[in-house]
Structure 1
Amino acid sequence: MRQPHDLAADTRPRVVRLADAAADGGTVRTTAAHRCLEPAAAPTGGAVAFICDRAGVPQLWAAASAGGPARLLDASPDPVTEVSWSPDGEWIAYTTAPGGGEHTRVLCVRPDGTERRAVAGAVPGQTAHLGAWRRKGSALAVTVAASQVRDPAYRGLAVFVLDPAGFADPELLTTQARASSLRLCDFSPDGHLALLRCGPRGRRRATVLDTRTGAVATDLPAADGDPWIGRFSADGRTVWLRSDADREFAALHAARLTDEGDCAYVAVAAERDGTDLELLYVDDDGRNGVLVWNVDGRSEVETVALGTSTVGVRSPVAIPHEVVTKVTDPTEGGRLLAVSGSAGRSGVCAYPPSGGTAAMTPWSSRDPAASPGGHSPVRPEHLRFPARDGLPLDGWYYRPPGAEQPGPCVVHLHGGPEWQERPVLNPMYQALTQLGIGVFAPNVRGSSGFGRSFVEADHGEGRFAAITDVADCTSYLILHGMADPNRVAVMGRSYGGYLALASLVWHPDLFRTGVAVCGISDFATFFAGTESWIAESAAAKYGHPEADRDLLRRLSPMTRMDALRVPFLAVHGEHDTNVPPGESLQAVQAARGRGIPAELLVLRDEGHEFLRAGNRARYHRAVGEWLGRHLVPKRA
């Protein structure tokens, strides 16, 4: 019989040299309107690597941190999703999604774009994720999924530490069978301890592992959201941790450790009433950090001085956009923040050590008019109202410029469901408002940002109440004159795609049409077809495919397709192994079998996320044409 440690044999990574793919930024055909994200500072502070889609697909770029032209380090067409610079400055590690799918791999390249190589995930069908570097040198942790193991009982995740140059064999650090997540977030300065994030959605754990013995020294609750949950202090005796243990909202915790890594005590070091700590960054020297708080969907940033296990001076930082998505170490141009907002594309800003307002970097997009046709972006209005059972709901309403009210409107549902709708630029919303269609993007129960109770309010039978929330949002729009009751559509992506399909069959008389993007239509087929580690995590959120079979059947839109009354459009990426494309196909076939018009758009070379500019444009155009056809009357 196979043993859990046999996972190592199925996941062991190998370094594969690849052809250099660097390109001079001046020779690359680029667009003025682009996104920059995921900045990673060089240890010297003089340069920064980042992801940019100015060439039509998210790729690896680099630039001097104080300014100057950006240069493309990897011109391959595989989308890049994460970036990290080695402590010795010799390598840049990054994660790519070959073919746009979900089977990612980890690559490393020299800062000049040479010696490109796949270090994990190069085996066909294998998936690898980026972990932390050891504090000195170029030893990199990676997580590899054993998706090819025949026996499902022994599928799982393994963490290795490897040398990008390939001079030494990868070192197995730990394995977990039937795991839903496993990421090495940090090494202690002496390398004797490692901080790992593991566990399913809603039940994340922070584990301190003794790297010499492989034994777990400490296990603590961690918060959902950003996978980089914490860091060790400079002496390796404190773990700064983002956690919501026994709390409604995540806060900064200081876990003091013994010499052996056991937890001596845990204390809350920084908190805010009714507000989640959503990002935590601790500098390599362990003396300073950055806290990013989620305040009604907007980010508030403060720098902090860190003691042994206490927080000193906290200084606010003004940012040019509403939301911060990543923080880096200080550079020559100042500390870098990845930001996004309702009136500008995602970019990177820097703020000086002396404080003040952060300014956008010269290589970020400079296009304030980000809407189709050069129109000024529509800024959303923040709406709050109760669901029928009294639970507070909120959302962001994008009012079409100059349009008469009430008019056509689409209720757009985010994924997750633990994600949160926030005031960031969504080209789809902007395109629809230019067609005269209003957009309301709500946070129904199950969304993050409103406390643990709100996130868990859709568990089990509570998911039926989440479907009812969509109807309550629609009724609110109609009652307050923001939507014509005869011209309302429902749309969503990922979990939002499921919720859109569910709304069409549970509340068929409310909507004129719908659009379901990468949505689950039947939980039984979803669990049978998704990746094993995704299924493990999804079971904690939706229900177990065996123990909760009856509940999942009742929650599946496919069991109620007889109630469907209106046409809908389904959109899916062909390489989506998170929610397989068959979920959309069977819903479309079921609708057509009942005489209801339904169409399916499959986007080539895309997975669960649509990352290529050409495909995104095709997707936006198809949705605009579909909703325009069903919601906007033709002029005589």
Structure 2
Amino acid sequence: MFEETAQIYGFALSPDGKSVALTTRTGKRSLLSWVEVESGQWIKSMELPVAGQAVSWSPDGTMLVCSGERSSQASTDLLLITENGAEVLLSQPGQHITWPTWNPEGTALACACFHGPPRRDHPQIMTFQLASRQLVQQTTGGGSLPQFTPCGRKLLFYRPPDLWVVDLVTRQEHRLTHHEKTLLYPRCCHGTKLLFEYGSYSIRQIGLLDLNSFHVEPLSAEDEDARGPSWSPEGEITYIENQTSLVGLLPSGERLWSVALPEPDGVEAYPYTAPQWAHQGSRLVLLDTMRSRLWLFEKEPVPTFKQLVCFRSPSVAPLRAQRIQYADATGRVIPALLFGPQGPADDKKAVIWVHGGPHSQTSLSDPSVRALVDAGWLVLAPDYQGSIGHGPIWEQLPPEQRGERDLLDVVSGHPYLVEHLGIPSHRIAIAGYSYGGYLALLALTQYPSLWAAGASLWGIWDAREIQRMAAPMKAVSRFSEAWLDARSPLAQIKQLQAPVLILHGAHDSTSTVQEVQSVKEQLTGLGRVCDVHVFADAGHGLPQYTHVCCERLLCFLRQYC
């Protein structure tokens, strides 16, 4: 029943710490399952009518609320799960309900509501009363997780660039921070103390806000990446440091302990996949970045990690890679991973594989890289500036350098392959996903003579979307239309010469289907090869089509490279 290829989309540790509820997807099938923490045994599962995402327990542990995509009406619905089954609470075509959270009494929910694709507009911050089934708009926010205060009478939310609170009785709003950072995420409250995360996409810090005095106290160092903060039942604070360690500290900032993470690629730190403590007992659950393993952390008697759920086949070991460096034309050094055959070969061919993010790095378990290596390709995966894992200075990439500095880092891999590894220039392709797809498309349009072929996997076509993600309220207006067009593959599409593969989800909000179809029409009209596959029931990442995407990528590159 639990296929090794399934991916975990959301999980929640029960208030008593005895079980974990998780949503998984395999192809078009989505399950909600319960796992016993002590034994790791599956308790039960139920098939969901939607593609399950976030899941959250009621405070008393008797109910669950779950959000999920319904592709037939391009919506994200809200479901209530009880012992009697699943009930659809909210479902409206074109409406996306995300990040549901409970009030302390378990009688109401707070959520963000988008009309149209998420991230295309600022959401309404709503409350939903379970007894009356009434949905009420409270205010307008900025897309992050709304949180009830411990008294349940106020709602915390993010409206760029600050944290705000709205009184649910009087509707009066108050700005809690006067922060100049680009992103803030309210995480969780403990008494009158609110943990929040702030910073850029590439590097984050955590802070503590006193809800009475509104005093803000930073808890992590500016040169360290700190994500996924959470309160333990004992009032300690934990967070993920540099994607290598789990750290515990007191609210005063005193560091208590630090343990290495069990996953070499780090763990998830997004709102509904971030580490979660049980309300009772010293138990924390973490999810790996491939969304295939759940880990249980227990602090007593000694800090220990135990694998709780594993969908990854034990026979599939992480790929072996050589850590290398290459230089650009100015001598600037770029770190990278090199996968695959590197000795003499009659049929030398290579792909420059560009990871997403940009605050990320290439995973040693990346299924696309594995497929390419297994098929005999040499894969160069640059960690361009903005990537994690090479220190805080390298992780910083100002918005004005996106699509320029990082692009040069990627493109500089081409002469390295030719001059140092002997790859024929006409046998080098470039491919990437998400932000990496954006850089791959820019490389194809701005350096068209370098590539035998290219591929964009759910890539971004317009620099305006890149800048919106970097700084939601400020970034786009900072730059002229000409500046943005010069960094937008969509505006330079006529310069693209090499055959290109485009894999995209119909519900992807970073680039629309209309943009993708426009590209196909323009390139086809110019006599260029443009192979487009739009997946009607998928969003960004195409997670339910991992194997299909790998197969189509391989087939395309074999044909044109």
Asked if TM exceeds 0.5, the reply is yes
- In the aligned structure 1, how far is the partner of 2:397 from the partner of 2:16? 47
Residue correspondence of structure 1 range 424-439 to structure 2 within 5 A: 425-439=365-379
Matched, 1:302 2:247: yes
Give the deviation of 1:40 after TM superposition: 0.6
Alpha carbons 2:362, 2:383 under 8 Å: kept = no
Matched, 1:269 2:219: yes
Q: 1:241 aligns with which of 196, 200, 222?
A: 196
Matched, 1:441 2:381: yes
1:393-440 CA distances to partner (integer Å, 9 max, x unpaired)? 433332249884993221222334x44124352211111110011223
1:338-377 CA distances to partner (integer Å, 9 max, x unpaired)? 1247xxx72101133323441211x42262223xxxxx44
Matched, 1:128 2:97: yes
Alpha carbons 1:276, 1:451 under 8 Å: kept = no
Give the deviation of 1:75 after TM superposition: 1.2
Give the deviation of 1:542 after TM superposition: 10
Give the deviation of 1:442 after TM superposition: 2.7
Matched, 1:364 2:292: no
- In the aligned structure 1, how far is the partner of 2:304 from the partner of 2:490? 51
Alpha carbons 1:405, 1:482 under 8 Å: kept = no
- In the aligned structure 2, how far is the partner of 1:539 from the partner of 1:312? 31
Q: Normalising by the residue count of structure 2, what TM-score does the alignment of the two structures yield?
A: 0.85
Match of residue 335 from structure 1: 284
Alpha carbons 2:229, 2:240 under 8 Å: kept = yes
Q: Percent identity of the aligned residues?
A: 20
Letter in 2 for 1:135: P
- In the aligned structure 2, how far is the partner of 1:542 from the partner of 1:129? 24
Match of residue 256 from structure 2: 313
Matched, 1:81 2:53: yes
- In the aligned structure 2, how far is the partner of 1:541 from the partner of 1:392? 33
Alpha carbons 1:34, 1:53 under 8 Å: kept = yes
Match of residue 157 from structure 2: 196
- In the aligned structure 1, how far is the partner of 2:2 from the partner of 2:187? 36
Pair 412,349 (structure 1): closer, same or farther in 2 beyond 3 Å: same
Letter in 2 for 1:625: C
Give the deviation of 1:322 after TM superposition: 3.3
Task: Report the 3-state secondary structure (helix = DSSP H, G, I; strand = E; otherwise coil) of the residue aligned with 1:97.
Answer: strand
Task: Report the 3-state secondary structure (helix = DSSP H, G, I; strand = E; otherwise coil) of the residue aligned with 1:241.
Answer: strand
Match of residue 580 from structure 1: 512
Task: Report the 3-state secondary structure (helix = DSSP H, G, I; strand = E; otherwise coil) of the residue aligned with 1:555.
Answer: coil
1:455-503 CA distances to partner (integer Å, 9 max, x unpaired)? 6645346523333222113333444428543321111223322322221
For the aligned residue pairs, the C-alpha RMSD in angstroms reads 3.7
Alpha carbons 2:144, 2:185 under 8 Å: kept = no
Give the deviation of 1:504 after TM superposition: 1.0
Letter in 2 for 1:239: L
Aligned residues: 551
- In the aligned structure 2, how far is the partner of 1:555 from the partner of 1:322? 30
Give the deviation of 1:291 after TM superposition: 1.4
- In the aligned structure 2, how far is the partner of 1:537 from the partner of 1:522? 12
Match of residue 132 from structure 2: 167
Letter in 2 for 1:216: H
Moved more, 48-57 or 135-144: 48-57
Match of residue 353 from structure 1: 299
Alpha carbons 1:460, 1:542 under 8 Å: kept = no
Matched, 1:509 2:452: no
Pair 482,435 (structure 1): closer, same or farther in 2 beyond 3 Å: farther
Letter in 1 for 2:127: V
Alpha carbons 1:573, 1:610 under 8 Å: kept = yes
Give the deviation of 1:587 after TM superposition: 2.3
Pair 439,212 (structure 1): closer, same or farther in 2 beyond 3 Å: farther
Alpha carbons 1:575, 1:608 under 8 Å: kept = yes
Residue correspondence of structure 1 range 104-115 to structure 2 within 5 A: 104-110=76-82, 112=83, 114-115=84-85
Alpha carbons 1:59, 1:75 under 8 Å: kept = yes
1:257-304 CA distances to partner (integer Å, 9 max, x unpaired)? 43xxx42x3333333x73200221113x4612321012xxx4211233
Q: Normalising by the residue count of structure 1, what TM-score does the alignment of the two structures yield?
A: 0.76
Match of residue 494 from structure 1: 434
Pair 134,621 (structure 1): closer, same or farther in 2 beyond 3 Å: same
Q: 2:123 aligns with which of 142, 146, 157?
A: 157
Structure number with the higher strand fraction is 2
Match of residue 7 from structure 1: none
1:596-632 CA distances to partner (integer Å, 9 max, x unpaired)? 22212222322223132xx33222111111112333x
Moved more, 445-454 or 469-478: 445-454
Residue correspondence of structure 1 range 472-487 to structure 2 within 5 A: 472-481=412-421, 483-487=423-427
Match of residue 470 from structure 1: 410
Q: Which runs of 5+ in 2 are unaligned?
A: 269-273
- In the aligned structure 2, how far is the partner of 1:536 from the partner of 1:270? 26
Q: 1:256 aligns with which of 200, 210, 223?
A: 210
Residue correspondence of structure 1 range 516-555 to structure 2 within 5 A: 516-521=456-461, 540=472, 544=476, 548-555=480-487
Give the deviation of 1:109 after TM superposition: 0.9
- In the aligned structure 2, how far is the partner of 1:403 from the partner of 1:192? 69
Residue correspondence of structure 1 range 204-215 to structure 2 within 5 A: 204-213=161-170, 214-215=172-173
Moved more, 69-78 or 601-610: 69-78
Q: Which runs of 5+ in 1 are unaligned?
A: 1-28, 371-375, 528-533, 632-636
Alpha carbons 1:571, 1:601 under 8 Å: kept = yes
Pair 516,386 (structure 1): closer, same or farther in 2 beyond 3 Å: same
Alpha carbons 1:90, 1:138 under 8 Å: kept = no
